[in-house]
Amino acid sequence: MVERDSAMKVTLPSDREIVLTRAFDAPRELVFEVWTRPEHVRNWWGPRNSTKVLFEAEVRPGGSWRYVILNGEGVEVPFTGVYQEVEPPDRLVYTEMYDVEPFNSGDPALNTVIFTNEAGRTLVTVTTAYPSKEVRDMVLSTGMESGAAESYDRLAEVLIEVSKGKR
């Protein structure tokens, strides 16, 4: 495991939003690639104790994505969405929904991901807008903050491996 050189920060700028920020020691072109290519995403997305089941993405406006893991208890955890904007290596906008009844019957969340070059490092800012304060608060209550921080730590590890040509 890599030491955390940049802690993930969580802010709540409105009653419907969660913003996650984290700096990575890699150029934004590489961070964008590892963020969007399923063969890389499967190595960092989700908790360490999860089993990777399915990682598919058609990264283009109107393209869909679907990630499915089995959590530590063996329960399937599927997420899905549609890309609204794809501007490599600067920006992604896509919907996200936990694809299990009754959660998949409402409006999806909207993620806006900005990749900013900062002196050779990349600052990733993810703003997620939820359909309501109640949905945002429910997401916060699931432990998503620690799960996202673990995924971002894993992303930092994958970035090192990919930059060394190991993946």
Which H/E stretch holds residue 152?
A: helix 144-163
| First and final C-alpha spacing in the chain | 16
Residue range 9-45+87-163 forms a domain whose CATH class is: alpha beta
State the average pLDDT for the chain: 92
Residue 39, φ and ψ in degrees, nearest 5: -65, -20
**Is residue 135's pLDDT more than 70?**
yes
* SS3 category, 151: helix
Say which residue the tokens 């920060």 belong to.
9
**Is residue 69's pLDDT more than 80?**
yes
What distance in Å separates the CA atoms of residue 38 and residue 45, rounded to the nearest whole number?
10
Percentage of residues in the chain with pLDDT exceeding 70?
A: 94
Checking 6-12 for CB contacts under 8 A at 24+ apart, the result is 7/149, 8/148, 8/149, 8/152, 10/145, 10/148, 12/136
Q: What is the pTM of this model?
A: 0.92
**Is residue 142's pLDDT more than 60?**
yes
User: How many Cα neighbours within 13 Å face the side chain of 72?
Assistant: 5
Please compute the mean of the pLDDT values over residues 137-165 and round it to a whole number.
93
Choose between 103 and 113: higher pLDDT: 113
Which H/E stretch holds residue 9?
A: strand 9-11
Summarised one tens digit per residue, pLDDT across range 23-48 is: 999 999 999 999 999 999 999 999 88
